[in-house]
């Protein structure tokens, strides 16, 4: 992760050189963890990566006491490789890290009055037949009860979020379908769907990391707590993203769609599709762009014609 190029990032006020922050990051080898270290370095914030595994409570306590951070950023966890289907056949390991480990960290940081930010998931909801119908524009709020239990991964995440709410030191960020500006990076949602033989076409809330990750550092600095839907406002469909991909990046790109029913036949676990309400986050960051505007500014404009340049060299 450390070798990845620094993403184009938004400038968020109040983050520069805050000497009062001493940050400990969990998730050194992960995509978000790598970004967090890069952002702290760029902003002159003292930081280090944790060496302890979340499930080892005694070692975790010792590391917190040795480092004495003011803030902990937790981007560690099991999502499964190559995808969340892995969690269906590794349930004990998934619980050990995503539930036991995360709660260890919340409990120990709370005892020591350390602010904790948890990079969680918004894939704990699905469109329903009531007020959250697809295309209604009505998103799930931070107060809504998770209604998606189609994958074991999401089931553990919904459970642990409910437990984390008990801890007054903790901020929970619901990330969804994370998108970066490196269109050739395998964890990028856009890269993933560009490589699928067929894709569904469902509008979803998503997180444009180059714009939003700097906001997470600022939220930690402000010591915000509670749950936040951490996505750009609005929704974008798979086809809309791939149309932008074709327009800005690869004019020769083509793709085929299939239905949710057809997709279900090739997956071990169902996938979450939803819209999250971003009113609470927008109140903290009025400058937050809608999903389509953010995609163009932070992802597609910086990549305009780059595919063409690569292939012509």
Chunked mean pLDDT (size 10), the chain, 313 residues: 38 44 95 96 96 95 98 83 71 89 97 97 93 93 93 89 97 96 92 89 96 98 98 96 96 87 63 93 98 98 78 52
Q: Give me the sign of the Cα torsion angle 36, 41, 47, 52.
A: positive
pLDDT at 197: 84
pLDDT at 264: 61
Q: How many CA atoms lie within 13 A of 201 on its CB side?
A: 10
In this structure, the strands spanning 115-121 and 46-49 are unpaired
pLDDT at 80: 58
- The pTM assigned to this predicted structure is 0.90
Query: Beta-strand (E) ranges in the chain?
Result: 22-26, 46-49, 71-74, 115-121, 170-175, 226-229
Peptide bond into 82 cis (omega under 30): yes
pLDDT at 270: 67
- How far out from the chain centre does Cα 78 lie? 13
- Give CA–CA dist 67/50, Å, rounded: 9
Count CB-CB contacts under 10 A for residue 46.
Answer: 16
- 278: Cβ contacts below 8 Å, ≥ 6 apart: 139, 205, 229, 231, 232, 233, 288
- Give CA–CA dist 183/190, Å, rounded: 7
pLDDT at 187: 87
C-alpha distances in Å from residue 61, one per residue of 80, 86, 96, 102, 106: 26, 30, 17, 13, 11
pLDDT at 82: 55
pLDDT at 145: 95
If DSSP codes are grouped into helix, strand and coil, which group holds residue 211?
helix
- Give CA–CA dist 98/76, Å, rounded: 8
Contact criterion met (CB below 8 Å) for 1 and 30: yes
pLDDT at 309: 59
- Give CA–CA dist 143/25, Å, rounded: 27
Which residue has 């990549």 as its token pair? 303
- Give CA–CA dist 44/34, Å, rounded: 16
């Amino acid at each position: 992760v450390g070798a990845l190029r620094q993403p184009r990032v938004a400038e968020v006020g109040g983050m520069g050189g805050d000497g009062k922050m001493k940050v400990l990051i969990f998730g050194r080898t992960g995509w978000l963890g790598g970004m967090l270290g890069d952002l702290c370095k760029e902003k002159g914030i003292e930081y280090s990566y944790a060496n302890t595994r979340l499930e080892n409570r005694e070692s975790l306590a010792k590391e917190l006491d040795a480092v004495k951070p003011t803030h902990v950023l937790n981007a560690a966890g099991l999502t499964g490789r190559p995808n969340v289907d892995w969690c269906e056949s590794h349930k004990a390991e998934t619980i050990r890290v995503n539930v036991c480990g995360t709660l260890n960290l919340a409990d120990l940081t709370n005892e020591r009055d350390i602010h904790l930010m948890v990079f969680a998931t918004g894939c704990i909801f699905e469109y329903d037949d009531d007020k959250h119908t697809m295309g209604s524009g009505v998103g799930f709020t931070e107060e809504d009860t998770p209604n998606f239990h189609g994958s074991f991964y999401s089931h553990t995440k919904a459970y642990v979020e409910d437990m984390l709410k008990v801890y007054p030191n903790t901020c929970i960020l619901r990330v969804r379908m994370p998108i970066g500006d490196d269109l050739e990076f395998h964890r990028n949602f856009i890269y993933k769907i560009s490589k699928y033989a067929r894709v569904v076409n469902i509008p979803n809330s998503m997180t444009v990391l180059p714009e939003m990750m700097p906001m997470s550092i600022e939220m930690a600095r402000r010591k915000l707590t509670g749950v936040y839907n951490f996505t750009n406002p609005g929704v974008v469909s798979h086809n809309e993203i791939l149309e932008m991909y074709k327009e800005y990046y690869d004019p020769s790109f083509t793709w085929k769609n299939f239905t949710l029913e057809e997709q279900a036949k090739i997956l071990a676990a169902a996938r979450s599709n939803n819209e999250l309400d971003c009113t609470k986050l927008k109140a903290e960051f009025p400058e937050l762009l809608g999903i389509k505007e953010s995609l163009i500014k932070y992802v597609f404009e910086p990549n305009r014609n780059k595919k063409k340049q690569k292939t012509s060299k």
